[in-house]
Structure 1
Amino acid sequence: MHGSIITLLKRYVQTQYDHSTWVKLVELSGLDKIEFNHKSVYPDEHVYALVGHAAEMTGIPAEELHEKFGEYLVPDLMYMYQKLVRPEWKTLDMIEHTELTMHKQVRQEHADNAPPVLDVTRISENELMIEYVSPRRMSGLAVGIVRGLAIYYDEADRIDVMPTTYDNGERVKIHVRRSA
């Protein structure tokens, strides 16, 4: 997992809870000897441990925490990739172009990082289907990012997100529809 995601996870925990909660999560996860750097790549197990312990501490299922974190990530992701985003894009356009713009750049610049593959099919002007494929099984993060994009583009009240999981979470179809 890219260090920028872990750095943002730390900020998310600190803003939603407090700094001591982050410290406790890091200790419980056995990661208290690691200084996370936003430019490094870390084992996915680090994030699994942090989110797993956060789920235990809060009583919120890990999948739901992934979704909440995904929503939280969007403003930072939009800032990081602003040069690749066209001003006329809205939620569905952004999703449709993520794989060939942002994910393509991440794969080129960070060989050790492997964002999920998003196979997006545009069904109509107001509807698309995302096939999320990743051995990380973090589709909740993708669902949260879709919801966060709808908030970012001020379309949250018009966007429906309906995930359908199969293949033990490694492949997930996410149906996204904008009401007229």
Structure 2
Amino acid sequence: MHGTVFTLLKRYVQTQYDHSTWVRLLEVANLSAVDFDHKNVYPDEHMYALVGHAAEMTGLSADQLHEKFGEYLVPDLMYMYQRLVQPEWKTLDMIEHTENTMHRQVRSEHLENAPPVLEVSRVSPTELYIDYMSKRRMGALAVGIVRGLATYFDEADQIVVEPTTSENGERVRIWVRQIPSQC
């Protein structure tokens, strides 16, 4: 997994909890000597260990933590990839274009980078399905990112995100629909 994700996980833990929580988390995951660099790629097992132990420490499930972390990631992801985003895009447009813009860019930066494959089917102007495919089994992170995008585009009260399969499978189907605003 790309080091940027670990760097952002560290910041997430430090802002939601505190620095000592991050240090304890590294220790219980047997990663105390690891200093994650945003330019490198690290074993997925490091993320599994960190999230698993964070779940134990917080009492939340790993899926709940992945979702919360996914929501937290969005402003940084939007900043990193702003040059690839069209100004008229909103939540559903972002989702529809992620695979051919941001994910393509990530894959081209390092051969080891392997973001999930997202097959997006636009059912209507206000509805789409995401078929998330990854051996990492982090569909809950994708659900959180979708919710974070809705917040980022000020559409959180209009976007409904519903996983239609288990969030921790290699293939996760996520239904996203926009409901009319209640103005």
Question: Same-fold call, TM > 0.5?
Answer: yes
Once superposed, which parts of structure 1, at least 4 consecutive aligned residues long, lie more than 6 Å away?
A: none
Cα RMSD of the aligned pairs, angstroms, is 1.0
How many Å separate the matches in 2 of 1:53 and 1:166? 21
Number of aligned positions between the proteins? 180
TM-score under structure 1 length normalisation: 0.98
- CA deviation map 1:39-68 (0-9, x unaligned): 100000000000000000010000000000
Q: Structure 1 residues 59 and 73, CA, compared in 2 at 3 Å: closer, same or farther?
A: same
Identity of aligned residues (%): 73
SS, match of residue 27 in structure 2: helix
- Contact 2:116/2:134 (CA < 8 Å) preserved in 1? yes
How many Å separate the matches in 2 of 1:166 and 1:69? 18
**Aligned counterpart, 2:160:** 160
**Aligned counterpart, 2:103:** 103
**Aligned counterpart, 2:34:** 34
How many Å separate the matches in 1 of 2:35 and 2:13? 16
- Contact 2:140/2:167 (CA < 8 Å) preserved in 1? no
TM-score under structure 2 length normalisation: 0.97
**Gap regions ≥5 residues in structure 2:** none
- CA deviation map 1:117-155 (0-9, x unaligned): 000000000000000000000000000000000000000
Aligned ranges for residues 132-143 of structure 1 at < 5 Å? 132-143=132-143
How many Å separate the matches in 2 of 1:125 and 1:48? 36
**Gap regions ≥5 residues in structure 1:** none
